Amino acid sequence: MSKIIILNGPNLNLLGEREKEKYGNITLKDIEASCKEYAQKNNIILSLFQSNIEGELVEEIQKSRNNQDGLIINAGGYTHTSVAIHDALKILNIPIVELHITNIYNREDFRHKSLISKTATGIICGFGSEGYVMALKGMVNYLK
Ligand code: CA2
């Protein structure tokens, strides 16, 4: 059984409430339910964590170094700014998937730079909320 954690950063708790044209009308709860269903069917022990606070995300990443086999992260706006999250991810010896709902490369210039990408085994972006289950599938395959 693989242990995988999905981390979500700032504002992603508001999915489905605002900016639906960009992020869709599916809530984070819906996304998490789909991921849990996929995990159950595929023998994955899944942990889910969302925070709007950079330090809490850093703490959770640090904890993952000893008890997870893979980490999936949508760091939200911190993707483009957080050296602390980059540094925490660098410490890990497990595969990392960087995930974005939108294609950050066809949006504003300031979203084109990701501090996460260099630490990532793979990246999924632009497939909407479907990307979460895609990331899980990719991770499971990679861990085999
Ligand atoms: O496309 C993604 O998944 C992003 O990581 C989402 C972040 C954005 O800063 C990144 O550049 C790309 C923003 C998440 C904000 O989510 C909201 C959800 C509902 C209402 C408002 C914002």
The pick from 6, 7, 12 for probing ligand 1's pocket by mutation, whose C-beta has the most ligand atoms within 8 angstroms, reads 12
In the chain, % of residues over pLDDT 70: 100
Domain boundaries of the chain, sorted by first residue = 2-143
Tell me how far the alpha carbon of residue 11 lies from the centroid of ligand 1, in angstroms. Answer: 7
Looking at the DSSP bridge assignments, the partners of residue 123 are 98
Please tell me the residue having the least CA distance from ligand 1 atom 20. Answer: 18
Q: What is the CATH number of domain 2-143?
A: 3.40.50.9100
Surface-to-core class of residue 76, CB atoms within 10 Å of its CB (0-12 exposed, 13-18 middle, 19+ buried): buried
pLDDT at 64 over 90: yes
pTM of structure = 0.97
pLDDT of residue 18 exceeding 90, the answer is no
pLDDT of 99 higher than 90: yes
Rounded Cα distance, 78 and 85, in Å: 8
Mean of the per-residue pLDDT values of the chain: 97
The amino acid present at 108, given as its one-letter code, is: E
What span, in angstroms and rounded, lies between the C-alpha atoms of 50 and 6?
8
* Residue 69 scores a pLDDT above 90: yes
Mean predicted confidence (pLDDT) in 84-88: 98
